[in-house]
Amino acid sequence: MNTTAPWMPAGTVYGTLLNFRREHALWAPRMNEAPYKAPPNAPVLYVKTANTFTPAGQAIALPAGAPVEVAASVGLVMSDDGEWGAVLFNDVAIAHQSYYRPPVKTRCVDGFLGVGPTCVPLAQLGGLAGLAELQIELHINGVHRQTTLLAEMLRDAATLLADVNEFMTLRAGDVLMLGSDCLADGTRPLVHAGDTVEITAPGFAPTRHNFVKEGTA
């Protein structure tokens, strides 16, 4: 597995929604409403297309007129030899209301996935079980805005991976992001042009991206 910087995904990147207990609890009262009328039984996934990938250190352009959320996540990188890895991601999205079917246009804007600089061998992090010990810090312009505890996941890494494999095959090079947590009020941190976001976690090199106006990246 290539661990040299700058690392970039070689396959499809999948994100996971509602995989942290706090956000799941906040949305629970709405899960029985139409059109679904029941909580999801399987993981709720979405795709981050290749046009969204932004290498570490490069700028992310923001479209005018829309609030933009940032979210810290860890992705599992699939391998055909069993030597999986993990990468930090900054999952960027235009703020939206739907949680079962987030519109593609809110998540797959050009550049809207900040990719960490390195893929860390999973063995160095204590395997899948070791990921539960991780704490991810998100800073905007050097100010701490959020701490994400992977121990608060609804499905831990091993369970999420097994549940996803029940209905789809993840291939070598694909990435499964474990999800991101919300703030106490159910929102995610917002960024504007001129902001710098840094995401850190023990064992990983920092993931840093500047945000600029569209047309200046």
- Tell which wins on pLDDT, 65 or 141: 141
Whether the predicted pLDDT of 3 surpasses 60: no
Closest CA to 119 of 79, 152, 149: 79
Q: What is the rounded average pLDDT of the residues 108-113?
A: 95
Distance, in Å, from the CA atom of 22 to the CA atom of 37, rounded to the nearest integer, reads: 20
Tell me the pLDDT band of 2, cut-offs 50, 70 and 90: very low
Our measurement of the distance from residue 156's CA atom to the centroid of its chain's CA atoms, rounded to an integer in Å, reads: 15
Closest CA to 40 of 72, 70, 7, 17: 17
- b/e code 131-155 from CB counts within 10 Å (16+ = b): beebebbbbbeeeebbebebeebbb
| pTM more than 0.75 | yes
For residues 135 and 201, is the Cβ–Cβ distance under 8 A? Answer: yes
179: three-class secondary structure by DSSP: coil
Tell me the pLDDT band of 4, cut-offs 50, 70 and 90: low
Query: At 78, which amino acid appears?
Result: M
